[in-house]
């Protein structure tokens, strides 16, 4: 326990703050804020149509996003340090929840705001919130898995596809206030396909990691037992 | 010290697909092992898999008898890693990197780290990205030494560096194992360096271990024979791996078993590891992998080292 706390403090003090400053701040301010404001702008101007300048903006944002994603993994040197898998997992969990809440709060908040103010139908509001929350969860879960290994050949690709879709999704969802509801249906279908593929990916990786964790746990218990036995022997020897 | 058993790792998403197949070798305590092979044979991938940077699909890695999956934390306390492209934060100075990662090691000693940096002539306050490659390697080495590592893993540490630095590095490696308590695993394609320092060689080809044995035994298992072409043709062909025609005759790499057939008309030489790699790569024998394994003897663990 002491070691876990020690490690976590170390992470929090150094790696985590550096990481957040670099990557999360970048993601948050450069991606979600413009998205949010553009969405609000669209909602206040329902007659506006998408034009090439929107597409350029989306492309630039996606580019920024991709650069940001590449930073989103545990600093690789940590994998070479004596930090146990459990500690890395704990750290990744904190990052996961931080990202999950951070990334979800604006799109969910804006949809909720639109729903409560009557701009969109309550059913659409619920579907949109559930969709964003689920998508946010899966996206960040892939990030979480990437924190546990630098083996990104598979997860990296999944994650990129995912975030690109999510990016478009946020644009389209925040555009719900307009009359053009077809925007809502198309990404939903697209998303369902990708969610299905990625859930398979997550299950696949989860099973693999779970197996390793179980093995690690068994080793830990054995070590504890050996320690107890050793202590008993030493006590016995001293008493004789 | 380090034992790798039946390690497998498949990369399904690379083009072309790459697999590490049934990797086995054993590096005893107090020795230097060279991991050699042509570019793309899987040396770096193997090192990354052993270090846990890649998740292996199957197999076991033992360090001092402890299994990596079970005692990862304990094992990593004793690992000193020096990579061609280091994984430290490039924007940070050597000092800052050490202050972040050092305390994660129980035996890390800041004074030792600073002493080695000074000894190696590395400026501790400059961002790693501004250091020369040689100095970045020196920094990684100083860091590894400062937490009292027992197994040093080098991945192409001298690639693209001058001979002077390579000599210095070889000297450091030799000093590391001098007390017999530490071992070095070094992946390189600079054979000249290995000839001088390595005790064991693990030779890889297409993701497989072709040979893993002590260097003297490997060299003793083959003979480099020079003679006129017709004389080489007279040799039992099952013993010949490859022949190279030259201006003054033909040179062939043959198995030691063919020694009985070598009379005074043949000039015999002890091959270097570079010769072995060259003749192996050039050979068009379909069974060259099996040939090499068969005539070299066997893997280290089979010989009970």
How far does the CA of residue B78 sit from the closest CA of chain A (Å)?
9
How far does the CA of residue A32 sit from the closest CA of chain B (Å)?
26
pLDDT in the model for residue A39: 53
Question: Which chain A residues are closer than 8 Å to B54 by Cβ?
Answer: 149-151
Name residue, tokens 């990744």.
A92
Of B85, B193, B198, B96, whose CA–CA distance to B143 is shortest?
B96
pLDDT in the model for residue B248: 78
DSSP assigned state of B270: P
pLDDT in the model for residue A117: 72
Average per-residue pLDDT for chain B: 84
Rounded to an integer, the average pLDDT of B236-257 is: 84
Question: Which chain B residues are closer than 8 Å to A222 by Cβ?
Answer: 70
Strand residues in B28-169 grouped as ranges (E): 32-36, 58-63, 66-67, 79-83, 151-155
Q: Which residue has the higher pLDDT, B49 or A166?
A: B49
Domain with CATH 3.40.50.300 in chain B: 2-216
- Contact yes or no for B69 and A219 at CB 8 A: yes
Average per-residue pLDDT for chain A: 55
Q: Which residue has the higher pLDDT, A35 or A24?
A: A35
- Average the pLDDT over each of A70-79, A163-172, A214-223, B282-291 and give the range with the smallest value: A214-223
pLDDT in tens, B193-236: 788 788 888 988 888 888 888 888 888 888 888 888 888 888 88
CATH classification of B2-216, choosing from 3.40.50.300, 2.60.40.10, 2.40.50.100, 2.60.120.10? 3.40.50.300
Residue A112 CA to its chain's centroid (Å) = 21
Q: Which residue has the higher pLDDT, B161 or A69?
A: B161
- Contact yes or no for A10 and B77 at CB 8 A: no
- Contact yes or no for B88 and A149 at CB 8 A: no
pLDDT in the model for residue B245: 85
Q: Does an H or E element contain B29, and which?
A: none
Count CA atoms within 13 Å of residue B69 on its CB side: 21
Question: Which chain B residues are closer than 8 Å to A77 by Cβ?
Answer: 86-89, 97, 101
| CA B34/CA B213 separation, integer angstroms | 10
pTM for this entry: 0.66
Q: Which residue has the higher pLDDT, A219 or B20?
A: B20
Find residue B27's DSSP bridge partners: B2
Beta-carbon contacts of A117 under 8 Å, excluding residues fewer than 6 positions away, are none
pLDDT at B237 over 60: yes
Rounded to an integer, the average pLDDT of A188-203 is: 50
- Contact yes or no for A85 and B103 at CB 8 A: no
pLDDT at B298 over 50: no
% of chain A residues with pLDDT over 70: 13
pLDDT band at B123 (very low <50, low <70, confident <90, very high): very high
Question: Which chain B residues are closer than 8 Å to A82 by Cβ?
Answer: 72-77, 104-106
- Contact yes or no for A77 and B97 at CB 8 A: yes
Highest mean pLDDT among A148-162, A185-199, B59-73: B59-73
C-alpha triplet B7, B13, B16: angle, nearest 5°: 85
pLDDT in tens, B253-277: 888 888 887 888 888 888 888 888 8
How far does the CA of residue A7 sit from the closest CA of chain B (Å)?
7
Q: Select the residue from B45, B46, B73 to test the A interface by mutation, using most A Cβ atoms within 10 A.
A: B73
Partner-chain residue, chosen from B11, B13, B51, that has the shortest CB–CB distance to A80 = B51
Rounded to an integer, the average pLDDT of B82-86 is: 85
Beta strands B2-11 and B18-27 are antiparallel
Q: Select the residue from B69, B95, B150 to test the A interface by mutation, using most A Cβ atoms within 10 A.
A: B69
- Average the pLDDT over each of A12-21, A39-48, B72-81, B160-169 and give the range with the smallest value: A12-21
Rounded to an integer, the average pLDDT of A191-198 is: 50
Cβ proximity of A81 and B79 under 8 Å: no
CA distances from B239 to B205, B215, B217, B263, B274 (A): 20, 20, 17, 15, 19
pLDDT in the model for residue B87: 84
% of chain A residues with pLDDT over 90: 0
Question: Which chain A residues are closer than 8 Å to B146 by Cβ?
Answer: none
Question: Which chain A residues are closer than 8 Å to B105 by Cβ?
Answer: 81-82
How far does the CA of residue B29 sit from the closest CA of chain A (Å)?
21
How far does the CA of residue B105 sit from the closest CA of chain A (Å)?
6
How far does the CA of residue A139 sit from the closest CA of chain B (Å)?
20
Phi, psi of B99 (to 5 degrees): -70, -25
pLDDT at A48 over 70: no
pLDDT band at B115 (very low <50, low <70, confident <90, very high): very high
pLDDT at A18 over 60: no
DSSP assigned state of B207: T
pLDDT at B172 over 50: yes
pLDDT at A166 over 60: no
Phi/psi region, residue A43 (left: phi>0; alpha: psi -120 to 50; beta: rest), is alpha
> What residues of A are in the B interface, CB distance below 8 Å?
7, 10, 14-15, 18, 75-85, 149-151, 153-154, 157, 208, 212, 215-216, 218-219, 222
% of chain B residues with pLDDT over 90: 17
Q: Which residue has the higher pLDDT, B106 or A57?
A: B106
Query: Closest residue of B to A213, CA-based?
Result: B69
Phi/psi region, residue B128 (left: phi>0; alpha: psi -120 to 50; beta: rest), is alpha
Handedness of CA B261, B265, B269, B271 (dihedral sign): negative
pLDDT at A160 over 70: no
- Tally C-beta pairs within 8 A across A and B: 79
Question: Which chain A residues are closer than 8 Å to B87 by Cβ?
Answer: 75-77, 79-80
pLDDT band at B151 (very low <50, low <70, confident <90, very high): very high
pLDDT at B26 over 80: yes
């Amino acid at each position: 326990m002491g070691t876990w706390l020690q490690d976590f403090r170390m992470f929090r003090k150094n790696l985590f703050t550096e990481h957040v400053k670099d990557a999360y701040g970048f993601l948050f301010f450069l991606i979600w804020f413009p998205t949010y404001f553009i969405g609000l702008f669209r909602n206040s101007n329902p007659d506006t149509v998408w034009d090439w300048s929107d597409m350029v903006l989306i492309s630039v944002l996606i580019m920024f996003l991709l650069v940001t994603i590449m930073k989103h993994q545990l600093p690789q040197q940590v994998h070479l340090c004596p930090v146990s898998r459990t500690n890395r997992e704990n750290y990744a969990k904190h990052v996961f929840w931080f990202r999950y809440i951070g990334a979800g709060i604006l799109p969910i908040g804006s949809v909720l705001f639109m729903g409560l103010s009557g701009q969109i139908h309550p059913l659409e509001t619920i579907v949109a919130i559930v969709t964003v929350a689920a998508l946010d969860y899966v996206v960040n879960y892939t990030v979480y898995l990437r924190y546990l290994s630098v083996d990104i050949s598979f997860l990296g690709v999944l994650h990129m596809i995912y975030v690109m879709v999510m990016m478009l999704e946020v644009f389209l969802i925040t555009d719900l206030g307009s009359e053009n509801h077809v925007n809502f249906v198309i990404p939903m279908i697209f998303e369902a396909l990708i969610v299905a593929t990625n859930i398979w990916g997550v299950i696949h990786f989860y099973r693999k990691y779970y197996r390793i964790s179980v093995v690690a746990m068994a080793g830990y218990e054995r070590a504890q037992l050996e320690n107890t036995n050793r202590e008993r022997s030493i006590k016995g020897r001293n008493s004789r | 010290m380090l034992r790798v058993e039946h390690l497998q790792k498949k990369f399904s998403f690379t083009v072309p697909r790459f697999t590490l197949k049934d990797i086995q070798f054993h590096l005893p305590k107090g020795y230097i092992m060279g991991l050699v092979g042509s570019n793309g044979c899987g040396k770096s991938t193997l090192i990354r898999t052993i270090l846990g940077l890649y998740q292996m699909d199957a197999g076991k890695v033992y360090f001092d008898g402890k299994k990596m999956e079970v005692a990862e934390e304990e094992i990593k306390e004793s690992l000193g890693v020096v990579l061609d492209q280091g994984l430290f934060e490039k924007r940070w100075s050597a000092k800052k990197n050490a202050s972040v990662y050092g305390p994660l090691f129980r035996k890390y000693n800041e004074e030792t780290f600073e002493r080695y940096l000074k000894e190696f002539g590395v400026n501790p306050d400059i961002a790693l990205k501004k250091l020369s490659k040689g100095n970045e390697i020196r920094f990684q080495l100083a860091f590894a030494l400062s937490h009292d590592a027992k197994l040093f893993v080098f991945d192409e540490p001298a690639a693209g560096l001058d001979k002077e630095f390579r000599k210095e590095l070889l000297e450091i490696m030799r000093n590391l194992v001098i007390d017999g308590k530490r071992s070095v695993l070094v992946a390189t394609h600079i054979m000249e360096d290995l000839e001088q320092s390595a005790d064991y060689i693990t030779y890889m080809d297409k993701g497989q271990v072709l040979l893993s044995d002590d260097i003297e035994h490997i060299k003793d298992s083959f003979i480099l024979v020079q003679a006129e072409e017709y004389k080489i043709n007279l040799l039992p062909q099952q013993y010949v791996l490859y022949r190279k025609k030259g201006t003054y005759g033909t040179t062939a790499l043959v198995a030691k078993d063919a020694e009985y057939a070598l009379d005074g008309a043949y000039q015999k030489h002890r091959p270097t590891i570079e010769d072995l790699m060259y003749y192996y790569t050039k050979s068009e024998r379909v069974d060259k992998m099996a040939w090499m394994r068969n005539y070299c003897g066997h893997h280290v663990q089979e010989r009970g080292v």
